[in-house]
């Protein structure tokens, strides 16, 4: 039998009143730290707070400073992308000629173009990470340097017994492809909100031109 069974009802009532009047927190006073930190002002709600933030943004709009050289930048980007993508199909469009020149089968010539697709899948994530870490300018210069080095390797190895080095030069050019595949990022960094679509379309046009130019050179 517990000790509370021996107490009279008057004592039990006094004990309950004492427990109610002690310093233990009530339910209304039990706020977590998160609730105390994010408590809204009196009479305010989440909707009114968001509306006030929007009103502040409308009163003090953030304007992007535009430079006149932004069109030169997008032109340089398009030139880089075109020069890199031009090498993608330069072997496959005349595959029968290179098969006789290097004395290889068709699958070897096909891999000279498929290495671009494989390199894009492999290096797209590291390229995005490096752009966030080093900036777009450094990555563009590095990609352009790789394209130039790969082109010189392929030019210097245009001999029937040097197909392996030619393939290596094509691989060096392919590694630079993911870094030149972000015209939308360039447009968002350099252009205003009314020019982003135009700048992005100009950047994408470089890849499209490079696909048509080799075919037109072959047919002519």
**For residue 49, what are the domain limits?**
3-59
One domain, residues 31 and 123: no
| pLDDT for res 211 | 66
Structural tokens at position 87: 């090498």
One domain, residues 94 and 126: yes
Spatial separation of the C-alpha atoms in residues 172 and 154, rounded to whole Å = 10
Last residue of a domain, one of 59, 81, 103: 59
One domain, residues 75 and 40: no
One domain, residues 121 and 173: yes
Does 170 fall in a domain?
A: yes
One domain, residues 36 and 123: no
Does 64 fall in a domain?
A: no
Is pLDDT of 15 > 90? Answer: no
Average pLDDT over residues 174-193: 85
Instruction: Read off the pLDDT of residues 107-162 as tens digits, 9 standing for 90 and up.
Output: 999 999 999 999 999 999 998 899 889 988 898 899 999 999 999 999 998 899 99
| pLDDT for res 149 | 95
| pLDDT for res 61 | 56
CA distances 16 to 9, 24, 181, Å, are: 11, 13, 74
Nearest by Cα to 64 from 187, 190, 202: 190
pLDDT interval class at 79 (50, 70, 90): confident
Half-sphere exposure of 73 (CA within 13 A, CB side): 18
| pLDDT for res 2 | 46
Dihedral (CA of 35, 40, 42, 48) sign: negative
Chain-wide mean pLDDT for the chain? 75
One domain, residues 83 and 178: yes
Helix, strand, coil distribution of the chain in percent, nearest 5: 75, 0, 25
Nearest by Cα to 185 from 145, 146, 130, 142: 130
Which position has the higher pLDDT, 4 or 178?
178
Domain count, the chain: 2
Asked if 137 contacts 85 with a C-beta cutoff of 8 angstroms, the reply is no
> Which contacts qualify for 136-144: CB closer than 8 Å, 24 or more apart?
136/182, 136/185, 136/186, 136/189, 139/179, 140/77, 140/80, 140/179, 140/180, 142/176, 142/179, 143/80, 143/84, 143/176, 143/177, 143/179, 143/180, 144/80, 144/176
Say which CATH number the domain at 159 has: 1.20.1250.20
Is pLDDT of 8 > 50? Answer: no
One domain, residues 16 and 75: no
Q: Report the range of poorest mean pLDDT among 27-41, 54-68, 90-104, 205-219.
A: 27-41
One domain, residues 194 and 88: yes
pLDDT interval class at 104 (50, 70, 90): very high
One domain, residues 179 and 99: yes
Helix (H, G, I), strand (E, B) or coil at 178: helix
| pLDDT for res 100 | 93
pLDDT interval class at 74 (50, 70, 90): confident
One domain, residues 85 and 141: yes
């Amino acid at each position: 039998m517990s000790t509370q069974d021996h107490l009279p009802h008057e004592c039990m009532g006094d004990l309950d009143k004492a427990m109610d009047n002690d310093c233990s927190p009530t339910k209304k006073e039990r706020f977590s730290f998160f609730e105390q930190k994010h408590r809204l002002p009196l009479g305010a709600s989440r909707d009114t707070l968001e509306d006030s933030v929007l009103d502040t943004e409308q009163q003090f709009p953030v304007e992007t400073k535009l430079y006149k050289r932004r069109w030169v930048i997008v032109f340089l980007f398009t030139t880089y992308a075109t020069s890199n993508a031009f090498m993608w199909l330069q072997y496959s469009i005349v595959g029968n000629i290179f098969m006789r020149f290097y004395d290889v089968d068709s699958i070897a010539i096909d891999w000279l173009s498929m290495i671009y697709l494989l390199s894009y899948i492999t290096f797209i994530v590291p390229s995005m990470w490096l752009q966030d870490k080093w900036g777009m300018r450094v990555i563009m210069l590095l990609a352009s340097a790789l394209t130039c080095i790969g082109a010189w390797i392929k030019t210097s190895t245009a001999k029937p017994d040097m197909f392996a080095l030619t393939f290596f030069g094509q691989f060096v050019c392919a590694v630079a492809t993911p870094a030149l595949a972000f015209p939308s990022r360039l447009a968002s960094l350099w252009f205003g909100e009314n020019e982003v679509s135009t700048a992005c379309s100009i950047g994408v046009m470089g890849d499209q031109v490079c696909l048509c130019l080799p075919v037109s050179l072959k047919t002519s």
